[in-house]
Amino acid sequence: MSKKLKWGVLGGGGDSLIGVLHRVAASMFDSYQLTGAVFNPDHEKSIEFANEIGIPTDRIYPDFDTMVDAELSLPESERIQVFSVLTPNFLHFPMAKKLLESGFHVICEKPMTMNYQEALELKEIQKKKNNVFALTHTYTGYPMVRQMKKMIAEGAIGEVQKVDAQYYQGWINPIIHDPKLRATTWRLDPEKSGISCCMGDIGVHAYQMLEYMTGIEIRSVLADLNYLYEDNKMDIDGTVLLRLGDQAKGVLRASQIATAEENNFSVAVFGREGTLKWEQENPNYLYLLKDGKPIQTLKPGNIYNSALSLDGTKLPPGHPEGIFDAMGNIYKGVAKAIRGQDYDPAEFPGIRDGVRGMKFIETVVASHAEGNVWKKL
Ligand SMILES: NC(=O)c1ccc[n+]([C@@H]2O[C@H](COP(=O)([O-])OP(=O)(O)OC[C@H]3O[C@@H](n4cnc5c(N)ncnc54)[C@H](O)[C@@H]3O)[C@@H](O)[C@H]2O)c1
């Protein structure tokens, strides 16, 4: 009998952006079996999609509640063990809450919830149930991101004194200048997206990445956000000054109107003894800079990398790792956790990242609304 984990999917249908990333990631290490789904609120479309990708339709349910009830009525040996929540943001909390309460493990897309209160509630439930909960800050799965984290922890650049994260996209530019489009895009609708668009969607990745890489908490922020039009309720661009730990400072720049930019996410951490820099669009290169020395470029799969980084490469050096591999590494870590195997907590972000991320989003929006003032997290 297959030892694969029985896996359920919510959202992520043929019409979605992120579904394919999760399906490929889940299949990468042969650990998950796609067993059931509600890919789409329209049952017909869900069935159509299941047929298209060649999975049985007997566990393609009409809606989420029906799915949970039906799965709970099955013997444990047949029941789905872990669900991925890939729906628009407003459904993350109600779905993740019910799944955890019902005893399922959860892999959830970011932002974790719509607000900080919900995040705290989810944390309590997860603590009580003690099920595995992963938040897919995908970029933490890249081998060279993991390497950067371990090198900073081991003192390769000394004490961190400054950080700089930039996350620039341009996809909202053609939308924001068209009144009809900006009124109908779910990410610009606070009911579906939450109180923030740019900071909630990509600023939170940059925030989480800075804390992930440095291991230092961001303690306060000062934000200047950009909305462009009076009838647009959501930030689509912004700059945030940061204070980290006892003395480090930094800046986080995020934009969805950086015209024609694609997914230009880069992170630099400056220490007393050196600098480490990484860019998402060229994720196989990690740059190490030292005063008076030539720049060094580190690459995946080489023996000089940490165990955490090497666990995320499947082929010998020279075979590039991409976004699918990064998500695959997160799924690999989650499978280890569900099976009770040893794993490094850095293999996947969890509930704490979600709680801090929601606090970041709310604090950044408040900092701007109150006249660009410093706010504690
Ligand atoms: N980790 C990342 O880097 C990353 C990247 C992109 C998107 N995301 C996150 O993934 C989530 C989905 O984003 P997307 O771009 O794929 O959105 P999308 O709008 O492209 O797709 C949403 C999917 O959810 C389905 N859906 C909607 N309501 C549903 C319901 N009630 N039940 C079941 N399915 C339902 C839709 O049919 C569609 O298949 C968002 O929360 C987003 O923030 C994360």
For residue 333, tell me if it sits in a domain.
Answer: no
Which residue CA neighbors atom 2 of ligand 1 most closely?
138
DSSP state of 91: G
User: Residue 359 is encoded by which pair of tokens?
Assistant: 């606090």
Token digits for 259? 């015209």
For ligand 1, whether the C-beta of 15 sits within 6 Å is: yes
Question: Are 150 and 274 in the same domain?
Answer: yes
The atom of ligand 1 lying closest to the CA of 15 is 39
How many angstroms does the Cα of residue 22 sit away from the middle of ligand 1? 11
- Of 138, 172, 193, which residue constitutes the final position of a domain? 138
**Residue 99 shares a structural domain with residue 166:** no
Instruction: Please give the C-alpha separations between residue 124 and each of 5, 119, 134, 147, 338, in angstroms, as whole numbers.
Output: 25, 9, 15, 32, 19
Give the closest residue to 148 by CA, choosing from 274, 318, 293. 274
Residue 71, domain CATH = 3.40.50.720
Q: Measure 54 CA to ligand 1 centroid, in angstroms.
A: 21
Residue 153 shares a structural domain with residue 215 = yes
Name residues whose C-beta falls within 8 Å of residue 31's C-beta, 6 or more positions apart in sequence: 4, 5, 331, 332, 335
- For ligand 1, is residue 152 a contact (CB within 6 Å)? no
- Which residue among 9, 15, 16 has the greatest number of ligand 1 atoms within 8 angstroms of its CB, and so is best to mutate? 16
| 106 sits in which H/E element | strand 105-108
Mark whether 185 and 128 lie in a shared domain: no
As a dihedral over the C-alpha atoms of residue 182, residue 183, residue 187, residue 192, rounded to 10 degrees, the angle is 170
Domain count across the chain? 2
Closest by CA to 167, choosing from 194, 195, 139, is 139
Q: 30 near 4, Cβ under 8 Å? A: yes
Q: Is the CB of 46 inside a 6 Å radius of any atom of ligand 1?
A: no
Domain end residue (candidates: 108, 138, 168):
138
- DSSP 8-state code for residue 213: H
CA 306 – CA 347 distance, rounded (Å): 13
Query: Looking at the structure, do residues 162 and 309 belong to the same domain, yes or no?
Result: yes
Please say which residue of 111, 138, 165 terminates a domain.
138
Distance (Å) from CA 310 to ligand 1 centroid:
30
Say yes or no: 106 and 154 in one domain. Answer: no
**Residue 20: inside a domain:** yes
The verdict on the CB of residue 185 being under 6 Å from ligand 1 is: no
Whether 38 and 174 map to the same domain: the answer is no
Contact 278, 297 (CB under 8 A): no
Q: Which conformational region is residue 54 in: left (phi greater than 0), alpha (psi within -120 to 50 degrees), or beta? A: left
CA distance 320 to 298: 13
Angle at which helix 116-129 crosses helix 92-101, to 10 degrees, equals 20
Q: Is 40 in the pocket of ligand 1 (CB under 6 A)?
A: yes
- Beta-bridge mates of residue 286: 278, 298
DSSP 204: H
Q: Which residue has the tokens 């196989």?
A: 284
Domain CATH for 208:
3.30.360.10
Does residue 165 sit in the same domain as residue 206? yes
State the pLDDT at residue 1. Answer: 62
Ligand 1 in contact with 196 (CB < 6 A)?
no
Domain extent for 199: 143-315+348-369
- Position 2 scores a pLDDT of 76
User: Are residues 110 and 153 both part of a single domain?
Assistant: no
Question: 26: Cβ below 6 Å to ligand 1?
Answer: no
Query: Is 85 within the bounds of a domain?
Result: yes
CA of 187 to the centre of ligand 1 (A): 10
Q: Is residue 322 part of a domain?
A: no
SS3 assignment, position 359: helix
Does the CB atom of residue 38 touch ligand 1 within 6 A?
yes
Q: Is residue 74 part of a domain?
A: yes
Indicate whether residue 89 lines ligand 1 (CB < 6 A). yes
Q: Is 208 in the pocket of ligand 1 (CB under 6 A)?
A: no
Query: Is 293 among the domain residues?
Result: yes
Q: How far is the CA of 11 from the centre of ligand 1 (A)?
A: 6
216 found inside a domain: yes
> Is 161 a member of any domain?
yes
Rounded to 5, what percent of the chain is helix, strand, coil? 40, 20, 40
306 in helix, strand or coil? Answer: coil
Q: Are residues 108 and 206 in the same domain?
A: no
Check whether residue 112 and residue 150 sit in a common domain.
no
**Ligand 1 atom at minimal distance to the Cα of residue 92:** 41
Query: For ligand 1, what atom is nearest to the CA of residue 45?
Result: 37
- 344 burial level (CB within 10 Å; 0-12, 13-18, 19+): middle
Beta bridge partners of 376: 220
Q: Is the CB of 88 under 6 A from ligand 1?
A: yes
Residue nearest to atom 30 of ligand 1 (CA): 41
The answer to whether the CB of 94 is under 6 A from ligand 1 is no
Could you tell me if the CB of 353 is within 6 A of ligand 1?
A: no
276 & 182 share domain: yes
- pLDDT 10s digit of each residue in the chain, 377 long? 678 999 999 999 999 999 999 999 999 999 999 999 999 999 999 999 999 999 999 999 999 999 999 999 999 999 999 999 999 999 999 999 999 999 999 999 999 999 999 999 999 999 999 999 999 999 999 999 999 999 999 999 999 999 999 999 999 999 999 999 999 999 999 999 999 999 999 999 999 999 999 999 999 999 999 999 999 999 999 999 999 999 999 999 999 999 999 999 999 999 999 999 999 999 999 999 999 999 999 999 999 999 999 999 999 999 999 999 999 999 999 999 999 999 999 999 999 999 999 999 999 999 999 999 999 99
How many CB atoms are located within 10 Å of the residue 174 CB? 12
